[in-house]
Amino acid sequence: MLNEVKFIKNIGRFERARSVQNAKFGPCTLIFGENGWGKSTLAEILRSLTQNNPSIILGRRTLGADMPQNAVLKFGTHNVAFENAAWNGPRARILIYDSVFINENVFSGDLISPDHLKNQYGLVVGEEGVRRIRWIVELDDDNRSTNSAIRSAESKISAVIRTIGLSTLGLDDFLELEDDPNIETEIASQLSQIQRAQRAKEVKLASVPSLIPQSTDIAKIRELLNQTIDGIAETALNKVRAHIAAHKRDSRESEMTHEAWLETGMPFVVSENCPFCGQALLDRTLLNAYKGFFGQSYRALSVDIKNIRETLNRYKNGDYRKKVFEIYEQNSQRFQYWHEVGQIPLPELESPEALVRRMERAANELDNLFVRKQANLVESIVGSDVESALEEWENGRNQVADINKVIGRFLQIVSDLKESIDSAELSRLEGKLSVLNAIKRRYDPDIVRDVQSLESLKNRKREIASEKARLRSELSEISRKITSYLGSEINQYLERLGAGFRIRYHEPDFRGKEPSANFDIMIREVPVAPRGRAESVDKPSFRNTLSAGDKSTLALALFLAKINSDPKLNETIVVLDDPFTSLDHLRRQFTAFEVRRICACALQTIVMSHQKNFLRLLWDKIDQQKISSLALQAGAPGVTTIVPYDIATATQPRHITERTQIEEFLEGEQHDPTYIRTRLRTVCEDFYRKGDPALFHQAASLEEIIRILEGAANDHPFKGALDELRDINEYSRGDSHAAVEGSPVEDTSHEELKAFCRKVVELTRGM
C-alpha cells in the first residue's frame, strides 16, 4: 500500500509539498482538496510510477521553477523516489479513474475516436490481452525489419548471380543448386572443351580462298569485231565519209575522231538551223545523211566497243595485275591457315606472272583491233592478226580456269570441313560452364554465409507468422470471453446507475495495426454507433444522444466493470479522482456504495474530491477502522501540506460558517468587522491544531502555535508561515485579551481588515 507522500517538488501544483508526521494513508484513504490544489497532479504522479513513464512528470514541471523535479513516496517499508528524471524502487500496481482515464479510454469532449476504441480494447482484455497485443505489435515490427533484411540479402545474392552471366538462372534456382565436390575438375574439363569449340567456331567463320576473276569470253570479243551496222544507205555512208575526209587537216587524223564529234552533235538537230554552226540550212542533204549514218544501231555498237575497250584498258594499265597478285597473296595466307587447321594439302600453283603477262599482251593486241573497229563501225575486223590475238586471249582464259579448278577443289574440302562443325556446341558448352561456375560460386564461403543468413531470416519470418497466428487466436478467444462478460457487467452498472441506455459489445475490430473495441450504444433498442463525425449534427451520435451525466456514467461503469473483473484486484491500488463529476444525487449514492465494495476487495482505495459532503458520505458508509482522511492544505506560502483531516468536524455547520463568513466579507458581504477580526484567530487556531495534532494540542492558542513552530524542525511544512501568523496574531489579539497599547480599535479600515482576511484564507486552504 501507499503509506505516505513524504516529499514532492516542482511537479504541477506542488512547488513544494510535505506530509506532517501523522498524515498516513490507510486501506481506504479519503483526500480533500480544493479545485486546482493538486489532486490531479497526485493522480498523475501515481500513473507515472505504475507505468514507469517519467514523461508524465516531466510534462508537469511547475511553471516558473528551475529546480530539479523530485518525489518520495513510501510504499510499505520501501521508499520510491523520482529523481534525475527516473523512478527508483518497486512499482506498485495502480488503477486510476480520472479525467485522463476518460479522455484516453472512453471519450474526449463529445467524441469517441479510433484511439479511444483501441485503448478501450486494451483496457477490456486486461494485462494478459495487452501483453499479447504488444507482442503482436512487436512481431509486426520484427516482421517489417525481417522483410527488409530479406530483401537486402536477396538483392545482394542476386547481384552475385548477375555476375555469373546466366540469364536463365533465378534466385531460387541458384539457392537450390547442389554442392559438387569435384567442381574444380569439371570446370577445367569444360574449359578445355570450350577452347576446342571456340576453335571450331573460329573455323566456321574463317575466310576462304578466292577465285581468280575470269576474263571476257572470246566469243563476245569476236562478235564485236565482226559486227557491222545494217540499214545504213550507201549514199549516206559515202557522203559522211567524203565530208570527213574533206575536213581532215592531215593524214594522221583519225576519221573516228570526226565521227565521234558528229555523233555527239546529232541530238541537237531540232530546228532548221545547223546544230554545229547555227546557220540556216538551205540544203539538208548532208544532214539527212548524218541522220541515216548515226542511227540506233550505230549508237549501240559504239557503246559496246567503248565498254570493251575500258575493260581491256584495265589489263593494259596494271589493274588486272594488281588484282591477281592481291588475290594470290591473300590466298596464300588462307591456304596456309586451312592447311594448319584442317590438315588440307597446300595446292600447287605457279607464280601468276606468266599468266598476267599473257593477258596483258593479248589485251593490248585486242585493243588495237578495237581501235580500228571504232574508226569504222560499219566494217568487220578480220584477219590473221585478229585470230592470233584471240588465241592468246583464250589461252590466258584457259590458264585462269585451270587455276580456279585447283582453288575450287580446295574450297570444296574447306566447305566440307565447315559443314562438319556443330555451331550450337559452343553455346551448349558455355551454358554448362556457367552452371558449373554458379555451383562453385554458390558454395563459396561468403555466399554460404549470405544464404544461411537469408534462410535464417526466412525461418524467422515463418516463426513470426506462426506466432502471430497463435497470439491472434488466443486474443480472439480472450476477447470473446471478456467482452461478453464485460458487456453484461457494464449494463448492470448502467441499470443500477439509472442510465437510459445500455451497450452491446461485438467481436473486436482486428483491422489495422492494433485491435479496437467494437460496440453500439442502445437507446430504446436502437443502436447508435459510438463514433460519428463532429459535423454530422443531423444524425444520432454519441455527442447528441447522451447527456454529460450519461457520458460520465458510461465512463464510470466501464471502469467499475473492469476493476471488478480484474483477477489481481487484491494486489491493486485503486485511485478515484472526483468520480462523481456530473453525477446527480442518486448516482453519487451508488458511487459511494461501489467505493465501499472496492475498499473490501482492493489492496488499497484512494478517493480524492473537492466536495466535503461526498467524502462525508463515504465516511459514513465505510468501516471506520479502514479509513484514513487527509487534506491537501496550505499552511505556509508556497508550500502544500498533506495533513490528517477530520471529515466529521469539517462538515459541521459551525466550522463551515466561520471561514465562509471571512470569504463573504472579502466578497463585500456586510459582516461586523470586530467579529470578523476575532474569527481570524479562531480559524487559524482550528486549522493548525487539526493540521498537525501531534504537534499542537487541541486547546493551543495562536500564540502557543507560533511558539511551538518556532521550536519545530526547519523542514516542518508550517515553518514558513511564522511571519504571516505573527502578523495575524498581532493584528487580532486585541479583541481576545485586555487592551494592549497599539492594538487595533473598532474603527480599523475595511481594506486593512480585508488584507488580513486574504492572508488567513490563503494560509488555511483545504480546511
Q: Is residue 663 domain-shared with residue 697, that is, in the same domain? A: yes
Note whether residue 297 is domain-resident: no
Q: pLDDT value at position 284?
A: 43
Tens digits of per-residue pLDDT, 207-222? 999 999 989 999 999 8
Task: Name the domain boundary from 647, 663, 689.
Answer: 647
Note whether residue 270 is domain-resident: no
Cell 561456375 locates to 437
End-to-end CA distance of the chain: 26
Give the HSE-up count for residue 288: Cα atoms under 13 Å, Cβ half-sphere: 7
Helix 183-205 and helix 424-442: axis angle, to 10°? 150
Q: Which bin fits 538, alpha (ψ -120 to 50), beta or left (φ > 0)?
A: alpha
Cell 595446292 locates to 347
Longest dimension (CA), the chain: 184
What percent of the chain is predicted at pLDDT more than 90? 28
Pick the closest to residue 528 from 555, 547, 501, 499 (CA basis).
501
Residue 464 reports pLDDT greater than 50: yes
Q: Residue 397 belongs to what H/E stretch? A: helix 384-419
Note whether residue 720 is domain-resident: yes
Tens digits of per-residue pLDDT, 63-103? 877 789 999 999 999 999 999 999 999 899 999 998 888 88
Mean pLDDT value across residues 628-653: 84
Whether 764 and 685 have beta carbons less than 8 Å apart is answered as: no
Task: Name the domain boundary from 647, 673, 708.
Answer: 647
Distances 592 to 310, 354, 617 between C-alpha atoms, Å:
132, 138, 7
Q: Is residue 89 domain-shared with residue 11, that is, in the same domain? A: yes
Encode 282-301: b = buried (16+ Cβ within 10 Å), e = exposed: eeeeebebbebbbeebbeeb
Q: Is residue 710 domain-shared with residue 726, that is, in the same domain? A: yes
Instruction: Look up residue 716 and give its three cell numbers.
Output: 516542518
Tens digits of per-residue pLDDT, 277-299? 665 554 444 445 554 555 666 77
Whether 370 and 308 have beta carbons less than 8 Å apart is answered as: yes
In terms of Cβ atoms closer than 10 Å to its own Cβ (0-12, 13-18, 19+), residue 523 is: middle
695: containing domain: 652-767
Q: Is residue 631 domain-shared with residue 737, that is, in the same domain? A: no
Distances 751 to 337, 667, 743, 757 between C-alpha atoms, Å:
130, 12, 17, 10
**Of residues 497 and 673, which shows the higher confidence score?**
673
Task: Name the domain boundary from 617, 647, 677.
Answer: 647
Q: Is residue 86 domain-shared with residue 47, that is, in the same domain? A: yes
Other CB atoms within 10 A of residue 107 CB = 21
Note whether residue 527 is domain-resident: no
Q: What is the DSSP string of 489-523?
A: HHHHHHHHTT-S-EEEE-S-B--SSS-B--EEEEE
Q: How many domains does the chain have?
A: 2
- The enclosing domain of 589 has a CATH number of 3.40.50.300
Q: Is residue 660 domain-shared with residue 745, that is, in the same domain? A: yes
Q: Is residue 582 domain-shared with residue 625, that is, in the same domain? A: yes
Note whether residue 390 is domain-resident: no
Bridge partners (DSSP) of residue 73 are: 5, 80
Would you state the torsion angle of the CA atoms of residues 59, 63, 69, 74, taken in this order, to the nearest 10 degrees? -90
Strand ordering across the sheet containing 14-19: 86-88, 78-83, 70-75, 2-11, 14-19, 639-644, 627-636, 28-32, 604-609, 573-577, 94-97
Q: Is residue 688 domain-shared with residue 623, that is, in the same domain? A: no
Q: pLDDT value at position 533?
A: 61
Q: Is residue 735 domain-shared with residue 656, that is, in the same domain? A: yes
Q: Is residue 586 domain-shared with residue 662, that is, in the same domain? A: no
Note whether residue 251 is domain-resident: no
Q: pLDDT value at position 231?
A: 46
Distances 271 to 265, 275, 278 between C-alpha atoms, Å:
13, 8, 10
pLDDT band, residue 654 (cuts 50/70/90): very low
Encode 407-426: b = buried (16+ Cβ within 10 Å), e = exposed: beebbeebeebeeebeeeeb
Q: Is residue 657 domain-shared with residue 635, that is, in the same domain? A: no
Could you give the CA distance from residue 436 to residue 431 in angstroms, rounded to a whole number?
9
Tens digits of per-residue pLDDT, 604-613? 999 999 888 8
Cell 586471249 locates to 393
pTM of the model: 0.55
Contacts of 398 (CB under 8 A, 6+ apart): none
Bridge partners (DSSP) of residue 87 are: 82
Q: Is residue 618 domain-shared with residue 656, that is, in the same domain? A: no
Bridge partners (DSSP) of residue 451 are: none
What is the sign, positive or negative, of the torsion defined by CA atoms of 560, 529, 501, 578?
positive
Tens digits of per-residue pLDDT, 467-519? 988 888 887 777 777 777 777 888 888 887 777 888 887 777 777 667 777 78
Note whether residue 759 is domain-resident: yes
Note whether residue 186 is domain-resident: no
Mean pLDDT value across residues 451-461: 92
Q: Where are the alpha helices (DSSP H) in 113-249?
A: 114-164, 171-176, 183-205, 218-226, 234-247
